[in-house]
Amino acid sequence: MGRSSLVTRGGGGWSGDHRTGFMILALVALLCRLDATLAESLSPDTMDDAATPRNAPAGPHYRNNLELEEALRNFTQRCSHISKLYSIGNSTLGVPLWALEISDKPGVSEPEPAFKFVGNMHGDEPLGRELVLLLAEWLCENYLKDSSATLIVDKLHLHLLPSMNPDGFAAKPNPMRNNAQNVDLNRDFPDQYFPANNNEGKRQPETRAIMNWIRAVRFTASASFHEGALVANYPYDGNLAVNQNCSVSPDNSTFRYLAGLYANNHPSMSKSKEFVGGVTNGAKWYPLYGGMQDWNYLHGNCLELTLEMNENKWPPPIKISQLWSEHRKSMLELVLSTVTVSIHGF
């Protein structure tokens, strides 16, 4: 049968053969259209889109604030048996300061030590945002399989604050160190040598949120993540003489132990040519006033380190996995020290 006979119309309407032929033609056309649509849907571009969460860039990247919140919520759904998501307050622009608690009894008060990691205090230092999430994922995946993961979850309460400065991170055209009011949050805390900061009502929203958090939880130990060097820094950060001399705290030996513990479990930090053993007293490196580290210790009885995680700020996203591998053991050992070693503030 020729193609033309399928569409020949008789004077009284379609013949049975003609109707059948037309239906076949329509079916063929429909199948061709479906084939084209299917081929387009299976192209490499659309296949990548289908495998990637909506609104999430493909490949390694620093998650924006909305993606960060989504990741935290997703984590607590998947790992609800060991986690609780809560906010310690809001940033200057109203972004929630999300914190994640990891424990076998999250949200329950227990006679166990509490440890916290704080990331992204400076908006242009984003590595901590990702490392704390990677730590959380590792703990969830390895709980009851790995002895370190199990000990951390069962014997202490770990609190993770991925971003203390979400406004600085999201600043346009470029992320900035300071918060939305152009204040360096690591110069904004009340300070024993800088009384101008002692009016708590004039502290930044992010600073006040951290202070209230520390007073509420009573952390045993803590660390904040920074970039621009590779060293474990310990108190005091300032001194009365305002010079680069060591400023020793009553718990100097414990601080040196904790800093050394971190540096020695990192593949290269302890081999530093600039810092002996990969550690430094804050004031000896350079004095600063209004820092979070000293306030934690003096007012929260919390032993806090400032961890400089990478020589350069904003390392390429493709290096996040490598940097996690380099810092993972140090991070775990520092947290575990609150259980395996008797440490406490003065």
What pLDDT is recorded for position 59? 75
What pLDDT is recorded for position 342? 66
What pLDDT is recorded for position 19? 42
- Asked if pLDDT for residue 85 goes beyond 70, the answer is yes
Q: How far is 267 from 330, CA to CA, in rounded Å?
A: 9
Lowest-confidence pick of 19-23, 56-60, 83-87 = 19-23
Domain contains 27: no
Split at pLDDT 50, 70, 90, the class of 35 is: very low
What pLDDT is recorded for position 100? 99
- Side by side, the strands of the sheet bearing 114-118 are 83-90, 96-102, 157-161, 114-118, 221-226, 303-310, 229-234, 279-281
Split at pLDDT 50, 70, 90, the class of 341 is: confident
Residue 232 sits in a domain whose CATH number is 3.40.630.10
What stretch of H or E contains 114? strand 114-118
Q: How many CB atoms lie within 10 A of CB 59?
A: 9
Q: Are 237 and 247 in contact (CB under 8 A)?
A: yes
User: From residue 164, how far is each of 9, 104, 161, 268, 288 by CA, in Å?
Assistant: 76, 25, 7, 27, 19
- Asked if pLDDT for residue 333 goes beyond 90, the answer is yes
Per the structure block, which two tokens stand in for 223? 């660390």
Sign of CA dihedral 222, 227, 232, 238: negative
Helix 320-340 × helix 127-142 angle, to 10°: 60
Q: What is the DSSP string of 279-328?
A: EEEHHHH---SS-HHHHHHHHH--EEEEEEEESSSS--GGGHHHHHHHHH
Lowest-confidence pick of 3-12, 121-130, 245-254, 329-338 = 3-12
Q: What rounded mean pLDDT belongs to the chain?
A: 87
What pLDDT is recorded for position 314? 97
What pLDDT is recorded for position 57? 43
Express each pLDDT in 138-152 by its tens digit. 999 999 999 999 999
Domain contains 203: yes
**Token pair 């513990």 is at which residue?**
261
Domain span including residue 134: 65-340
Average pLDDT of the segment spanning 61-68: 97
Q: How many CB atoms lie within 10 A of CB 252?
A: 15
Split at pLDDT 50, 70, 90, the class of 343 is: low
Total-model pTM: 0.83
Sign of CA dihedral 137, 268, 115, 131: negative
Domain contains 5: no
Domain contains 83: yes
Per the structure block, which two tokens stand in for 289? 């006033």
Average pLDDT of the segment spanning 290-304: 98
Q: How far is 183 from 168, CA to CA, in rounded Å?
A: 10
Ramachandran quadrant class, 101 (left: phi over 0; alpha: psi -120 to 50; beta: rest): beta
Q: Strand, coil or helix: what is 53?
A: coil
Query: What is the number of structural domains in the chain?
Result: 1
Domain contains 84: yes
Domain contains 14: no
Catalytic site positions: 308
Domain contains 331: yes
Domain contains 7: no
Express each pLDDT in 160-184 by its tens digit. 999 999 999 999 999 999 999 999 9
